[in-house]
Structure 1
């Protein structure tokens, strides 16, 4: 009798464990460089949000936003991605101009929520005569890795400031390799980096770094700034985040980061992503307290989106139920005129025929 009871209890325990295991799913989120902010945000979601939604969330590094769009669209298991607003908008604009590859990539993607502003840094040697971002024209520029959001941001900003394409001579090295070339063989004049502050790559620099490099400032009064601020946002790069580089805060630029998914229709996937949204709301204070400092800039709000941007309906319902009383309208993401030919952006994104 005792053996029968024990066997029954063991069987019940195994069945219970099996049902729990079936309930949990393994999803992936694509982020960016190992030393960037996106991967830290992804890890916070995996630690503080995903478990309550019965999701084991694997956080994958990537080349950045442009690659993330492609991975989210086609890579099995990838259910979430972090994407820059200018990259997302570029895909939409290129699709609207008739590029079928861009249309196939972006049409089924959906926004879960906007997150925070990511700062855009232009770094030069300490002895450079350049002081402002609008002085990078014709410089030997490293735009960021090929296929990355940083590369597209560099190209977009260059076009907005100077009304011409970024020179084809621009290089597409990793941040680390580009900075080394900047200060050693001096084959580069400017290195572009996009990362939410405090960015680990810059935080980890030694105090003597100030003798080697400096950050360029953004001048809001310069004639080029009006066009730039139709796509990007003014930012304050804080000396407290980068004491090895800055003696005082400097004016800078930023781009918005978004949490993005696919228009999943399967009931199980919808259910888990709804659970993810619900858990994000319920654990939002913990994210702010224990997660990356950038969570302090995030609002649980779903502002109106720009032309072509669409929220993912299942998560939107969950979030709206949570934030209905506190949500505030925010500026819609601005749309740019669509490209009419195979542009520099299309080449960077790998969308040219």
Structure 2
């Protein structure tokens, strides 16, 4: 009898081990993709950080894919098999929402099933000209030949939207070039265009990896806070600063500019396995957020682990939102319980003779 029970328990144990092995195998076989940005941009580094510090601990093999940028990312997030995550600029996301609200069925079909995971950081908008250019302020680009970025990129959306806001009209077709960041800088230095517009979180590898001799041939235009064009662009964009410390061997001072917010985006998935995997991703994102800030791209230090209210037409992905909010509550409770350092008694300052005369000594 005892032997039979033991044999039965052994069989159950083996079955349990087999089940656990299969579960672990299933978790290890979650292969997802995230669409990011150009090879030397910030998005692709942010994607690599998410793959290393968040997806891997959650049992997800996250493949980081380059792309032209945000507009292409929205399309691929919606339709490309295996793409479960995307990095998207706020102005691009809003442009899809606006077009859908205006009756564009294709835009509606693309954007309405998409959901936000969380906001990330602000991306700086660089207005690059030759160092010998007479242009110094951003509003000086009016009427110039400009590379606005590749079609389908967030840079193209930001550049064209900013120009229209500042000057009340689009860039003339004859003055628009759709070049990659590298090609735009090459043509700028070769005097084939007047301005190259780049959107990237600082420090951007595009500039940090650039040959010092080439760097000396370009400069950034500054945001003029008193220009009427600046006031008009504040409808959508926010003032920011390109810090000298981001490019210490090149810039001599900080450069004021514009910024646009980046978001981590997914789809309104309902399949149990996908929901489970993304829930683990959300839990891991909260658990390993400190690792991202300590070891990831410097832009992670600007990210706040929070879920602020959203604009009309924007929605969080409910399963991940619940996980993140629960984790945020736990983190806040842990922070409240953390012992506060005891303030040391400071030595009383010596009373000077002048203070004695004025009866200021106690």
Q: Which has the higher helix share?
A: 2
**TM-score, with normalisation over the residues of structure 1?**
0.86
8 A contact 1:66–1:148 mirrored in 2? yes
Shift in Å, 1:14 = 7.3
Match of 1:23 in 2: 27
**TM-score, with normalisation over the residues of structure 2?**
0.84
Shift in Å, 1:240 = 1.4
Match of 2:266 in 1: 261
Equivalences, count? 319
Match of 2:184 in 1: 178
8 A contact 2:165–2:233 mirrored in 1? yes
Larger Rg: 2
Q: Which of 125, 136, 140 is matched with 2:130 structurally?
A: 125
Change (3 A) 1:269 1:306: same
Could you tell me which runs of 5 or more consecutive residues in structure 1 were left unpaired when the two chains were aligned. Answer: 1-7, 328-353
- Aligned pairs (5 A) from 1:263-342: 263-324=268-329
Change (3 A) 1:291 1:192: same
Match of 1:147 in 2: 152
1:79-127 residue CA offsets vs partner (Å, 9 max, x unmatched): 0000000000000111111111111110100000000000000100111
Distance 1:155 1:285 in 2: 36
Match of 2:41 in 1: 36
User: Greater shift after overlay, 206-215 or 307-316?
Assistant: 206-215
Which SS does the other structure have where 2:244 is aligned?
Answer: coil
Shift in Å, 1:134 = 1.1
Q: Which of 164, 174, 187 is matched with 2:169 structurally?
A: 164
Match of 1:108 in 2: 113
Shift in Å, 1:10 = 11
Higher relative contact order (CA 8 A, sep 6+): 1
Shift in Å, 1:21 = 1.6
Which SS does the other structure have where 1:256 is aligned?
Answer: strand
Match of 1:343 in 2: none
Distance 1:65 1:214 in 2: 26
Shift in Å, 1:177 = 1.0
